[in-house]
Chains A and B, each alone.
Chain A
Amino acid sequence: MKKILAIFQKETILRFTSPIEWLFFLILPLFFTFVLAGGTAGNMDTRTRLAVVDQANSTLSAQLIAGLEASGSIRPDVKTLAEAEDEFSKRNVSAVLVIPPDFTLEKLREGALALDLRQLPNNLNSLAAYQTVQTILGRLSSSVEIAQQSVQAAEDLRPFENDAERAAYFDAALDAAQTELSVAPQRVATAQALVEDPVEYDPRANSSAGQLITWVFIPLFGISVTFAYERATGTLRRLLTTPTRKATYLLGTLLAAVFWALVQMLLLVLFGIFVMKLNWGHSPAALAVILTASALAASAIGVAMGAFVKTEGQANGLSIMLGMVMALLGGCWYPLELFPAVVQQAVKVLPTRWAMQGMLDIVLRGQDLSAVLPEAAVLLGFAVVFYAIGIWRFRYE
């Protein structure tokens, strides 16, 4: 035990000797979490910016812009045509909506209107903008539509005496329709997680959990770097001429890596709780289980890699690459739902996928220990398999 602690101490000193380690340990993960989460609430607007050129300046165009402003997904930014075109050509905005001069209620009453939305090709944001604008236009035109239908129905039963009477009838109906639509009751209720302690859905939880996994897995894969380094310097060889068992060495090295991974996770979780106001903390038991299981699985892969890599440089490169690819495919960077169905099934072979799933159970779904046990079990399974491979193929030179 004393030896394990000595190895632990040595690993810790070696790791934090370099100030650069702090960059990977804390600074980069926080930076990435922050940026990917779109910053903390309030500072940043995550709505898609839409350049709007209002050439009509009519009541109707004002209603349209107000409608866009009220939507949760679009931030209209009124510009002149030249400004908008300039921004668009620089790809600073993903879509431009041009409201033509004839966009007025009068014209709408007379007939159909047309609007152009210029979009960047193949861009999810401009697609979202398109859908939002479409919905708001539908709402705008629906009251006119209702008034028109109403006039039609009246005319079918008994014709109007003159145009003025028809116009008055239309205006009254339009007014009634607008009032009625604006006071219509809410008919859809959305909910996210069914727990006593209701969890506010927050997309930033995805980035908090995803970045945590990415940045903890990379240094844990880095155990392979330690092995490569100790092989290259001959210290591992020397160690095995002392009355110290391989198992003691492995345990001490792992203990250091896993311990610091847990500390790192805890710091990132605390950042999530206190700065980003995420609900990491409601079930400490579940959190402890999933964090430990993740760290063990990742460290096992590091040990297994350590048995196969030849040089420190190779180990370093592989750790970063595997860490990032696994994180990406495990859904840590983008939600898994965006992956084709086949891929969603295929990535079940990655520990990152299970770690992410387990953490989201906690931070997004507000579930407790029993819900994360399956994920934890899978992660521990990974740990067993890869420890076995790593120890079986362990080399000291």
Chain B
Amino acid sequence: MPAILEVQQLVKKYGDKTAVNGISFDIQAGEIFSLLGPNGAGKTTTISVLSTLYVPTSGDAVIGGHSVVKEPMAVRNLIGVVPQDLALYEDLTARENLSFWGQMYNLSGKALNARVDQVLEQIGLKDRANQRVKTFSGGMKRRVNIGVGLLHQPRLLFMDEPTVGIDPQSRRAILDSVKDLNRQGMTVLYTTHYMEEAQELSDRVGIIDHGDLIALGTQGELTRQVGEYEALQLHISEMDDSEALAQALRGVEGVVRADVIDHNITLITPEAEKILAPVVSRANERGIRIHTVTIQEPNLEAVFLHLTGRALRD
């Protein structure tokens, strides 16, 4: 399988500020590739450059053999974009919106109508096709927003955090539809700051932070980077000083690192069961009660933590 997308040393600067700092990766046809990183890591900027909105400061990306810098029009024909914010005309109906965007993708006539019907079916809004988008719920709007990106059956679909700010049910539906699309042969570049989404969807994941691509590979490859480590998560009472406890736990033999997020302490260790007893006794010494303890197999969260020392959702 040839790469449908090749990103080559892509740099994007705004004045002094570097948003994307020379990243390179490629996406194979037929895979779901996730770009995982916290807010402000450079995900949206990357997508914007790839979808020809911004001209990169240096570097290039080639999509289906066309350079985003030199042949933006050819690239636009191959890609579908689902922007992070709803980019729809709320005063138009769902059908009118799809029809308008379809025409912007050079569809017309019968082919256009057929595609609009198919997409309406696909996003499950056939019965509300002639109602104005502004009367829709947040989840329904999201679905229309995605539908617009599918109209011209793009070879590569960019989805920029499509699940931000919606209810769990709609989120579930969107994740399922991404998998469906992929099964039908669509290549997807998916950005998110939710570890679980990347984990569920992707064949391969790129982890991005402060504009740098800090890790790249299949999930297995990435978690192996953390080694044989496991994560032990402690949830303690809001009344207690979690920072102080973490400090104390760093002294426990076998704890590689200890990180604090609110009232959760995550300990990275080769063998979680072994340190469980000393950890509990350290806590008891300080009169701190541990509400829950969970042991996690190595996951992307742990990878990110391991690489940056921070949690994804800062």
Contacts and interface: CB of A to CB of B under 8 A. Distances in A.
A and B: direct contact (Cβ < 8 Å)?
yes
Interface of A: 2-3, 6-7, 9-10, 13-14, 17-18, 233-235, 237-245, 396
Given A14-B92, A241-B53, A242-B101, A234 B108 contact: no
B190 interface: no
The prevalent SS among residues of A at the interface is helix
Given A13-B91, A233-B90, 9 more contacts: A9-B100, A18-B91, A233-B85, A233-B89, A238-B87, A238-B148, A239-B104, A243-B73, A245-B73
Given A13-B91, A14-B91, A234 B81 contact: no
B76 A13 contact: no
Per CB-CB distance, the 7 closest pairs between chain A and chain B, nearest first, are A234-B87, A6-B103, A238-B87, A243-B76, A242-B104, A241-B81, A241-B51
B131 to A, nearest CB: 13
B292 interface: no
A241 B76 contact: yes
A18 B51 CA distance: 34
Nearest to A396: B53
Contacts, number: 66
B243 interface: no
B106 to A, nearest CB: 6
Contacts of A234: 83, 85-87
Interface string B92-103: 100010001101
Contacts of B140: none
A233 B73 contact: no
A235 B87 contact: yes
Nearest to A229: B89
Interface of B: 51-53, 73, 76-77, 79, 81, 83, 85-92, 96, 100-101, 103-106, 108, 148
Contact of B108 (A2, A235, A239, A243): A2
Given A235-B88, A241-B53, A241-B76, A6 B104 contact: yes
Nearest to B93: A13
B100 A10 contact: yes
B79 A241 contact: yes
23 contacts: A6-B100, A7-B100, A9-B100, A10-B89, A10-B92, A13-B91, A18-B91, A233-B88, A234-B83, A234-B86, A237-B83, A238-B101, A239-B104, A240-B52, A240-B53, A241-B52, A241-B76, A242-B76, A243-B73, A243-B104, A243-B105, A244-B76, A396-B53
A235 B89 contact: yes
A240 B79 CA distance: 12
Contacts of B88: 233, 235
B87 A13 contact: no
Contacts of B51: 241
Contact of B89 (A2, A14, A396): A14
A243 B52 CA distance: 10
Contacts of A17: 91
A233 B100 contact: no
Nearest to A234: B87
Contacts of B76: 241-244
Nearest to A232: B85
Contacts of B52: 240-241
B53 A242 contact: no
